[in-house]
A and B are shown apart, each in its own frame.
Chain A
Amino acid sequence: MTETTPTTTDSTATCTLILPPTDLKDKVLIPGKDFGFDLQAIKRAEIALEELSVNFKEWIIVDTETLSQAQMAAEASAFTPESLDALFNAAHDLKGQACTLGYPLAGSICHSLCQMIDGLPDQRRISAILVKQHVDAVMAIVREEITNADHPVARAVFKKLREVTIDFVVQEVERVRADSSESQELEPVEQPELSATGAVS
């Protein structure tokens, strides 16, 4: 695509509509009767992905190990923001690719874990047990090679985890709301002043 600096000819206009260069279209589109879907290209890609899938078991093991280590590190550090961020990243990565790697329920459980971390108003109050249950469930699914999204036991575990997680997050949100409305009803409390050294005077 041409590297062109965007221009506007009216500095008073609140909005300028720019028709961008069409050179990409000119460069790569092979004209035909009408636009459509190149099914052969997609088929080739699906076959290539199928060939790549011999690596998927190894990859998901690596990713679940990363998740497990992140969970242990987070728990050991009492869920500091940095450790929770690392845990979220590991779960988020798995959520995005577990389905492609053939473990859809592992991805769904990671989605639930991400929602818990992301949805809590105060992440310091995260449930260590619930986090561990999510990670253990993912590890079990990979260990038992449960690739079927309808596997009855794995599905039941996922549904229960999700149910408990939603309840937990909702309770935490309500608790913060209740605390917030209570504090608004009380007389304002004078804030302690910090000395130059940071000590409370």
Chain B
Amino acid sequence: MAKIDFEKLRFVVVDDNTHMRRIVRTLLRAFGSREIYEAEDGASGLEAVDAYSPDILIADIKMPIFDGIELTQMIRNPEGPKHPFLPIIVLTAYSEKKHVIQARDAGATEFLCKPVSASALFRRIQNVIENPRPVIRTRNFFGPDRRRYINPNFGGEERRVADSSSYVVDLNSLS
């Protein structure tokens, strides 16, 4: 079985609730991670991302100053930031579909509803590492591919294959 070397993983956890940050930190430390940085609002979360260059960001939605959706949008802005491909796990007490869609459209990689459990958090982390999704760039979206599977019944315009050979950009093959 392939294992994750958590000791090499650096996290930033952004949540305005001290207790929730402590719970997440406890879980991450037990997984084996030693580098966990915390922030209590969207603004300091963005600063922490810039300062520590984490491998994974775990962010709440409902936070002061700016929320987790805005934080995600700022990180995904392809014009500005240094971390456009940073895996972002949104961890929130919002469970309604509209919030899942909102997070997805902002560019979140994974969505996890509170209450958080060890296995659910582990699965999300494992998934962003083992199965990184392609990133889609359109005029109004930059982020992980929002389609997780091919819908055989899709009847709309297929925008992804009609353009040109430059449709796919493999950053691993660029020098």
Contact = CB atoms under 8 A, between A and B. Distances in A.
Interface string A21-33: 1101101111111
Interface string A1-28: 1111111111011111111111011011
Interface residues of B, number: 66
B115 A31 contact: no
Contacts of A19: 134-135, 168-172
B86 to A, nearest CB: 7
Interface string B100-118: 0000000000000011101
A50 to B, nearest CB: 10
Contact of A6 (B78, B86, B92): B78
A32 B82 CA distance: 32
A20 B129 contact: no
Given A19-B172, A37-B123, A100-B114, 9 more contacts: A3-B53, A9-B169, A12-B163, A17-B168, A19-B171, A38-B3, A49-B27, A97-B17, A97-B19
Interface of B: 1-6, 8-9, 16-17, 19-20, 22-23, 26-27, 29-32, 53, 55, 62, 78, 82-87, 92-94, 114-116, 118-119, 121-123, 126, 128-130, 132, 134-139, 142, 145, 159-160, 163-164, 166-172, 174
Interface of A: 1-10, 12-22, 24-25, 27-38, 41-42, 44-49, 52, 59, 62-63, 89, 92-93, 95-101, 107
